[in-house]
A and B are shown apart, each in its own frame.
Chain A
Amino acid sequence: MTMSPGVRKLALAAHVTSSVGWLGAIAAFLALSIIGLTSDDAETVRGAYLVMEPAAWYVLVPLAFASLVTGLVQSLGTTWGLFRHYWVVAKLLINVFATIVLVMYMATFDVLRDVAADPGTKLSHVRNVSPALHAALALLLLLAATALAVFKPRGMTRYGWRKQQKPRMVAPP
């Protein structure tokens, strides 16, 4: 299945937009996490942890799935394929892993929100380094995926190699 040039451009634009948008959203979460850890203002600290859960549901999760789906469309609809080149496989693994961890981490955002919403909880208990740590690690993963997409390092899988050989073998001498 190969897309027409117009559809391919559209799919590429959707993939780049969602992937870079996800990266930017994680950078914003890292900033929010640092504000939550360092601010002296109690309302700002509580507000930072309160806003993380809904913002993650409305921004991070949709962008993660959009990046994954558009990436699958982009690879399956072009000659790159999904399992023909190592860099595509590596990007897929990074994307799937980051999405799984994000979905599992949503429960942690719930806990942080409930703790921040309780006025009886001390500010020192509201502050938590976990979101900053996860955002920093996610940022590294997505930067690696971006680098793979930009540089497209050489390397064809055995499957890709076999696929490449097939047309030659069936072609008449």
Chain B
Amino acid sequence: MSRKLPGISEPPLSDATPPPIPRWVKVFAVVAALIVLLFVVLVITGGHRPRRHGADIPALASAALPAADAFGHRS
């Protein structure tokens, strides 16, 4: 429990003060940052090829087609 010093109070929210950032925005920012971080890590590490999610895609996909990047992009 915080004690307020005499004569010092919270600044009144006036037109001169920018509005505070709402809590939902902070939560959104954290979740968005985590999702983008995960996305970047998956792209960099190449851990996002189609075969990783399910059964291995056989030789056709890897041999007949040019090399794919993390998202299966063909060069």
Which A residues are within 8 Å of any B CB, using their own CB?
A: 86, 90, 93, 97, 101, 104-105, 107-108, 110-112, 114-115, 118, 120-122, 124-125, 127-130, 133, 153-156, 158, 161-162, 165, 168
Q: For residue B73, which residue of chain A has the nearest CB?
A: A107
Question: B interface, how many residues as a size bin?
Answer: 20 to 34
B15 to chain A, nearest CB (A): 7
Would you give the 0/1 interface string for B35-74, flagging 1 where the beta carbon is closer than 8 Å to chain A?
1100100000000001111111110110011001101111
- Of the A-B pairs whose beta carbons lie under 8 Å apart in the complex, a sample of 29, sorted by A's number, is A86-B22, A86-B25, A90-B25, A90-B32, A93-B32, A97-B35, A104-B71, A107-B68, A107-B69, A107-B72, A107-B73, A110-B72, A111-B50, A115-B57, A115-B61, A125-B56, A125-B57, A128-B53, A128-B54, A129-B54, A130-B50, A130-B53, A130-B54, A153-B24, A154-B22, A155-B22, A155-B24, A155-B25, A168-B15
A108 lies within 8 A of B74 (CB): no
Q: Which residues of A contact B64 (CB under 8 A)?
A: 114
User: Which among B15, B21, B58, B71 is the interface contact of A105 at CB below 8 angstroms?
Assistant: B71
Which B residues are within 8 Å of any A CB, using their own CB?
A: 15, 18-19, 21-22, 24-25, 28, 32, 35-36, 39, 50-58, 60-61, 64-65, 68-69, 71-74
Cα A118 to Cα B55 in complex, Å, equals 16
Cα A115 to Cα B51 in complex, Å, equals 11
Q: Which residues of B contact A124 (CB under 8 A)?
A: 55
B12 to chain A, nearest CB (A): 16
A110 lies within 8 A of B74 (CB): yes
Q: DSSP class of A's interface residues: helix, strand, loop or mixed? A: helix
Q: For residue B16, which residue of chain A has the nearest CB?
A: A165
Q: Which residues of B contact A121 (CB under 8 A)?
A: 58, 60
User: Which among B19, B65, B72, B73 is the interface contact of A155 at CB below 8 angstroms?
Assistant: B19
Q: A118-B60, A128-B55 are in contact. Are A108 and B50 (CB under 8 A)?
A: yes
Cα A67 to Cα B56 in complex, Å, equals 35
A90 to chain B, nearest CB (A): 5
User: Which among A127, A165, A168 is the interface contact of B54 at CB below 8 angstroms?
Assistant: A127
